[in-house]
Amino acid sequence: MTMHRAQIQITLKSATSFSLRSATQGGHQTLLHVPGAALLGAMAAEIPNGLDRWTIVHSGKVRFGDGLPSRNGRVAWPAPASLMRRKANSSGLWPPLNTASFKEDDIAELHNAAHSPPAEGQQWNPAKLQYVLLPEDGSTDAFLHVRPRTVDRLKTAIDPVRGTSREQMLFEIEALASNQVFQAAIEARLGTFSSEPAKDRQAFDAMVNAFAPASGRVVRLGRSRATEFGSAELRLLPGAERNEHQELISGEVVVWVLSDTVIIGSAGIPASELTAAAFGLTGGTLIASRSFVGMNSVTPFNGFRGTNDVERQSIKAGSVLVFSGVTHAVRGQSRVGAYQAAGCGHIWVAPPILSSTRIEIILREEQIQRKPVDATLPQNNPLMAWMLSTAGRSQQFSSERIRGGSASAQSRKSI
């Protein structure tokens, strides 16, 4: 084991929004995961005395991973961009693989274009899935498509002088719905806090327990935290440590990008060259025809400084790259590139999901059901009583004005 690792569970207690882009005009969209930068910011805002603030927050040695959707204790990963589906039929549905044995969930056959190009004469489109839940180890079950549920909230700015809605300031916020569960990993290399193993482990555990105790701790995440958005509970999960068996591989290697990745070039600064060395591989050449890469241009807003940070050119999560002629690589998950402390650079070298051409996936979007809303009025509530009485007086006043206006009209007509 070369890493201290802790897994935390993030339960959204209210709608939570993480801006997809920093523009203030146009429709607002949210990320479908909890970014590691938000967790790092939450740690920096409430770090207790006695912990090494510099090492935890500023050194970049402690990594706060992205919070990804979780189902039954398992993490759903960003769907590979190399998955292709057959063109929809006349009814607009995907051709199911076997509808006889699966009555509730359609099983679709997807083609992994990173393994081999589709056959000529067949029309395939990008599957455009959100997240995929991998089957249990040794299971032959199909993969499950997971899509976090979102809600739209219509808001308006308040005029500080009149105390009413400000004109031309109506806007909509998209947010992750409440009662959804995500998981994120906190990692640090051995020796980050101390050269003595016992003290090093003790310091890491103290940091994790302060941030996300096993009993749970409520924090505020995302935008509009001062209003009804952003309430989330952080809870430490047991058994996060894992034995890392390093299997060396060579030849053709597939890299699956699990979080936005800012690669570092040969000069030691962020670069745009898609080289094998940038992903921790020795040797190798990119096979562009079988690689599916999306790019992001992000300028994050720093709430502490009150301004934007430097612009980042990053590879989108879900991108798939194929390299040939690799002489040395380590199979498994790792971190590469810049901004790893904020959740960037998480990759999977030679993932099993992309080792074959044909992939079966359940198309049903796995979502958490909404809780029923109690529409009964509270009894003996002073605020509710005042609101009902005010509404009654307003209605009575409106009725009297209508009757009075009608009487005046009748009198004018008689004159």
Q: Which of 25, 37, 51, 24 is nearest to 221 (CA)?
A: 37
- What pLDDT band is residue 268 in, cutting at 50, 70 and 90? confident
C-alpha dihedral over 25, 30, 35, 37, to 10 degrees?
Answer: 20
Mean pLDDT to the nearest integer, 305-317: 82
Encoding tokens for residue 312?
Answer: 């980042």
Q: Which of 19, 23, 18 is nearest to 34 (CA)?
A: 18
Q: Which residues of 86-108 are buried (b: 16+ CB within 10 A; e: fewer)?
A: beeeeeeebeebeeeeeeeebbb
How far is the C-alpha of 389 from the C-alpha of 387, rounded, in Å? 5
Q: What is the 3-state secondary structure (H, E, C) of 16-33?
A: ECCECCCCCCCCCCECCC
* Structural domain boundaries in the chain: 3-75+155-243, 247-357, 377-405
Is 262 a residue whose pLDDT tops 70? yes
pLDDT at 371 over 50: no
Whether the predicted pLDDT of 293 surpasses 90: yes
Note the CATH number of domain 247-357: 2.60.40.4350
pLDDT grade for 91, boundaries at 50, 70 and 90: very low
d(CA 181, CA 9): 7
Predicted local confidence at residue 226, as pLDDT? 76
Q: How far is residue 378 CA from its own chain's centroid?
A: 36
pLDDT at 118: 76
Q: Give Cβ neighbours of residue 302 (< 8 Å, ≥ 6 apart).
A: 308, 309
- Of the listed ranges 156-160, 219-223, 283-287, the one predicted with least confidence: 156-160
pLDDT one-digit tens code per residue, 21-54: 765 555 678 899 999 999 998 998 888 888 888 8
Is the pLDDT assigned to residue 99 strictly greater than 50? no
Indicate the DSSP class of residue 111: E
Spatial separation of the C-alpha atoms in residues 61 and 41, rounded to whole Å: 15
143 compared with 286, residue with greater pLDDT: 286
Report the candidate in 350, 353, 315 with the shortest Cα–Cα distance to residue 329.
350
**Mean pLDDT within 267-273:** 78
| Phi, psi (degrees; rounded to nearest 5) at 266 | -65, -25
Arithmetic mean of pLDDT over the chain: 80
pLDDT at 176: 92
Residue type, 99: T
pLDDT tens digits for 236-259? 998 766 656 678 888 999 999 999
CATH number, domain 3-75+155-243: 3.30.70
Contact between residue 106 and residue 364 where contact means Cβ atoms under 8 Å apart: yes
Residue 292 φ/ψ, nearest 5 degrees: -130, 105
Predicted confidence (pLDDT) per residue in 379-390, tens digit: 677 777 777 777
Residue pLDDT, tens place only, 131-170: 988 877 645 456 888 889 998 887 777 777 877 777 767 7
Provide the pLDDT confidence category of residue 188 given band limits of 50, 70 and 90: very high
Q: Has residue 72 got a pLDDT over 80? A: yes
With H, G, I as helix, E, B as strand and everything else as coil, classify residue 337.
Answer: coil
pTM to 2 decimal places: 0.79
pLDDT for the residue numbered 370: 42
Structure tokens at 203: 């310091």
Confidence bin at 410 (pLDDT 50/70/90): low
The mean pLDDT value for 58-69 works out to 92
Between residues 203 and 310, the one the model is more confident about: 203
Q: Quick one: how many helices (H) and strands (E) in the chain? A: 4, 24
Pairwise pLDDT comparison (222 vs 369), residue with the higher score: 222
> What SS3 state is found at 329?
strand
How many whole angstroms separate alpha carbon 313 and alpha carbon 269?
12
Q: What is the pLDDT of residue 372?
A: 47
Phi-psi domain of 268 (left: phi exceeds 0; alpha: psi -120 through 50; beta: other): left
**Quick one: what percent of the chain has pLDDT higher than 90?**
35
The enclosing H or E element of 236 equals: strand 231-237
What pLDDT was estimated at residue 406?
52
pLDDT score at 392:
67
- Distance of alpha carbon 175 from alpha carbon 326, whole angstroms: 42
User: Could you tell me whether strands 124-126 and 165-176 are parallel, antiparallel, or unpaired per DSSP bridges?
Assistant: unpaired
Question: 98 falls in which pLDDT band (50, 70, 90)?
Answer: very low
Instruction: Name which of 80, 117, 65 is nearest 319 in CA terms.
Output: 80
- Please tell me what DSSP assigns to residue 136: P
Note the pLDDT tens digit of each residue in 328-365: 999 999 999 999 999 999 999 999 888 888 777 776 55
SS3 97: coil
Strands annotated E in 336-398:
346-349, 358-366
Q: Which residues lie below 8 Å from residue 334, measured CB to CB, with a gap of 6+?
A: 280, 347, 349
Q: Per mean pLDDT, which of 39-53, 111-125, 175-189, 255-269 is the most reliable?
A: 175-189
Check residues 405 and 66 and name the one with the higher pLDDT. Answer: 66
- 45 vs 373 pLDDT, higher one: 45
> Lowest-confidence range among 39-43, 225-229, 230-234?
225-229
State the residue for tokens 């990993």.
185
